[in-house]
Amino acid sequence: MTCISCAGAALDRGGMTLTRRESSPIPVEADSICPDRFIGLNEADIARLPAFYGRRQVTLGDLFEIEGVGATDITVTGDLAAVKKIGHGMTMGRVTVEGPVGQHTGARMTGGELVVRGDAGDWLGAYMAGGRIVVEGNAGHFVGGAYSGDTKGMRGGTILVKGDVGREAGGRMRRGLIIVLGDTGEFTAARMLAGTVFVRGRLGARAGAGMKRGTVVAFGEVAELLPTFRYTCTYRPVFMRCYLRRLRETGLVAEGELEGELFRRSIGDLTNGGRGEVLVRAERE
């Protein structure tokens, strides 16, 4: 026989699973799927949390089969391609999405971990301030971006996308780290204020357009750098070694996934002060 607190901990480890009842192209807004919203609730309470099915307000129970216990480990399965805002604003816990997921996943989150075992839609981690997002497939446009009217995008935390991302990843980013192991679309880190973006694949055209400060690192091919970027030197940035070591230590990237010692440094965007930088991996001559 276990004590009450031990039993509670054991139950919490079991986690909560939400399974989509049907496949539908109609958009669902499910910002209730968030560890913070599940705290202290049982299955029936969670089933009563609100969601939007198209423009109609429904409950999570109408859309998902809900089973399990605990708030800190949530798994969402089924057809989620049209389900938006999972993990929206989460501050703690872990959410695992099995399969492709819709837009705004992990937007405005400040803590915890969100894992997507598939592709993610646009605005992944938009305006995020902390925590970690890992996407095992591709992600859409505006990863870690700023919403219209916001002066800042991502303000902290880490986003790892193992596939490709669309345009304007890290747009208006203020702080934090975005790692893309595939290619990026146009205008990566456009109007970036600070922070760091790593791209292992092809860095899309016009990267860093209008950036004020911050760092874009290209480990692979670079489509084109704007003429408002000026080459400064080829050197060994020690801070890059700190990043790569830390990423390996935390298990975010595997040994050999991101490597580089020597980088060509260009500063820009000279139309906006020129205090940003684009580092492109160079080979030793």
Residues that bind another protein (CB under 8 A): 175, 196, 213, 215, 235-239, 241-246, 250, 275, 277
Residue number with CB closer to another protein (13 or 236): 236
Query: SS3 of 60, please?
Result: helix
- Closest contact distance (angstroms) between CB of 229 and another protein is 16
CA–CA separation, 51 vs 30, rounded Å? 5
- The closest of 107, 156, 154 to 131, measured between CA atoms, is 156
- Closest contact distance (angstroms) between CB of 235 and another protein is 5
Residue number with CB closer to another protein (48 or 241): 241
- Closest contact distance (angstroms) between CB of 99 and another protein is 30
CA–CA separation, 151 vs 68, rounded Å? 40
Residue number with CB closer to another protein (21 or 241): 241
Residue number with CB closer to another protein (49 or 197): 197
Residue with tokens 């938009």: 126
- Closest contact distance (angstroms) between CB of 197 and another protein is 12
C-alpha 132, offset from chain centre: 7
Residue number with CB closer to another protein (101 or 217): 217
Question: And the tokens for 164?
Answer: 């490709």
CA–CA separation, 179 vs 186, rounded Å? 16
Residue number with CB closer to another protein (23 or 250): 250
- Closest contact distance (angstroms) between CB of 131 and another protein is 13
- Closest contact distance (angstroms) between CB of 139 and another protein is 23
For 5, other C-beta atoms within 10 Å of its C-beta total 8
Asked if residue 107 lies in contact with residue 133, where contact means CB atoms within 8 angstroms, the answer is no
Residue with tokens 């049982």: 42
CA–CA separation, 153 vs 243, rounded Å? 21
